[in-house]
């Protein structure tokens, strides 16, 4: 069966989206351009979010001291050795808040990526409180010429949870940034953490309903991973009972519940996260992401469900009603 996003896969997958758009697979090359964050330099707070340490996610070739072009070249060499058929890449400005500078400085930082012959587009990771009308107008103009995604850290739709992890902004600010970006024709991505202390299954399912009504292009889901040296690790050591430590099967069943409620027009970039070896304070699943994804696909098959099967469908009691395709 072919689903409405044009493939036989049971969810609207990022890899399939790029094959349709560019006719081939694209690989992200991550970049640390030396940005900081308003939640670190005192503008809204110090120390960052309680869960945050970018070193847990940055590959070895990412060093802010290296020029952007050098990081791209080294990243391409790394990925070409691993994925020999990949010819085009996305430059992913990942570390910290990559719109947190004056516009002219941002243009200077992005230009080496835009000029690179092997780069098909750029993805810019940032916070919703680090964009304004001037920057969004620039991104809108740029996105008419080049493929561009603004990827916002959302993490939770609950203001109480955002405050508890010292996020430094509200969900209303996130919704504003997503809507203002989309209104200008900018593709917007979002990042969600599943498992933050204080949230449960009902909260995560509700978050899908909320996010499904935003004009998001894509979503990336990560299970909470407690990173060594963070404020959250200290809290975990003091009171581990407050933290939900998912087994892989439990988490993927939850993700299936969430995906079948998700707006089918939203592209799913990831359904789980990975961190660099030795950086997590807790034991992982011992599986590569491709193995995790394979099991997730099996679960969707076993349950005969798909992205959006329960999206926006309720019976007269207000409960979600099954929708057959």
pLDDT at 284: 85
pLDDT at 319: 43
Mean pLDDT over the full length of the chain: 90
Kindly indicate the confidence band of residue 54, based on its pLDDT and cuts at 50, 70 and 90.
Answer: low
Mean pLDDT of 55-64: 64
pLDDT at 146: 95
Higher-confidence position of 324 and 141: 141
Mean pLDDT of 148-166: 95
Q: Quick check: 45 pLDDT over 90? A: no
pLDDT at 56: 52
Kindly indicate the confidence band of residue 128, based on its pLDDT and cuts at 50, 70 and 90.
Answer: very high
CA–CA gap between residue 49 and residue 45 (Å, rounded): 9
Nearest to 58 by CA among 75, 38, 41, 46: 75
CA–CA gap between residue 270 and residue 11 (Å, rounded): 11
pTM above 0.85, yes or no: yes
CA–CA gap between residue 127 and residue 141 (Å, rounded): 20
Provide, rounded to the nearest whole percent, the portion of the chain with pLDDT above 70: 93
Question: Across the chain, where does the E strand assignment appear?
Answer: 26-31, 88-93, 119-126, 147-155, 187-194, 218-223, 267-270
Kindly indicate the confidence band of residue 212, based on its pLDDT and cuts at 50, 70 and 90.
Answer: very high
Mean pLDDT of 14-27: 90
Is 232:204 a contact under the CB 8 Å cutoff?
Answer: no
> 């835009």: which residue's tokens?
114
Cβ neighbours, 10 Å, residue 23: 8
Q: Quick check: 193 pLDDT over 90? A: yes
Structure tokens at 296: 């997730």
Mean pLDDT of 65-72: 91
Higher-confidence position of 133 and 42: 133
CA–CA gap between residue 127 and residue 145 (Å, rounded): 24
pLDDT at 314: 52
Q: Quick check: 85 pLDDT over 60? A: yes
pLDDT at 51: 86
Provide, rounded to the nearest whole percent, the portion of the chain with pLDDT above 90: 70
Mean pLDDT of 263-275: 94
| Domains within the chain, CATH numbers bracketed | 14-303 (3.20.20.70)
């Amino acid at each position: 069966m072919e689903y409405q996003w044009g493939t036989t896969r049971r969810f609207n997958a990022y890899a399939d989206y790029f094959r349709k758009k560019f006719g081939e697979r694209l690989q992200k090359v991550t970049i640390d351009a030396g940005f900081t964050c308003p939640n670190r330099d005192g503008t809204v707070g110090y120390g960052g979010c309680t869960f945050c340490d970018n070193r847990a996610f940055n590959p070895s070739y990412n060093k802010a001291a290296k020029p952007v072009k050098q990081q791209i070249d080294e990243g391409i060499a790394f990925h070409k050795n691993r994925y020999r058929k990949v010819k085009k890449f996305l430059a992913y400005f990942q570390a910290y808040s990559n719109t947190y500078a004056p516009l002219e400085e941002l243009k200077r930082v992005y230009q080496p990526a835009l000029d690179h012959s092997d780069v098909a587009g750029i993805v810019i990771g940032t916070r919703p409180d680090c964009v304004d009308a001037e920057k969004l107008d620039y991104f809108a103009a740029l996105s008419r010429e080049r493929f561009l995604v603004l990827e916002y850290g959302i993490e939770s739709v609950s203001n109480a949870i955002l405050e508890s992890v010292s996020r430094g902004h509200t969900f209303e600010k996130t919704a504003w940034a997503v809507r203002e970006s989309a209104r200008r024709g900018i593709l917007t991505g979002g990042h969600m953490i599943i498992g933050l202390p204080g949230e449960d299954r009902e909260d995560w399912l509700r978050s899908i309903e909320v996010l499904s009504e935003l004009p998001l292009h894509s979503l990336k889901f990560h299970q909470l991973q407690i990173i060594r040296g963070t404020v959250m690790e200290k809290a975990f050591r003091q009171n581990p009972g407050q933290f939900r430590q998912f087994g892989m099967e439990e988490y993927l069943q939850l993700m299936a519940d969430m995906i079948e409620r998700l707006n089918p027009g939203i592209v799913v970039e990831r359904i789980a996260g990975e961190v660099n070896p030795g950086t997590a304070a807790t034991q992982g699943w011992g599986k590569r992401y491709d193995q995790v994804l394979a099991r997730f696909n099996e679960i969707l098959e076993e349950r005969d469900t798909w992205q959006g099967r329960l999206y926006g469908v309720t019976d007269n009691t207000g409960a979600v009603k099954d929708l057959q395709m």
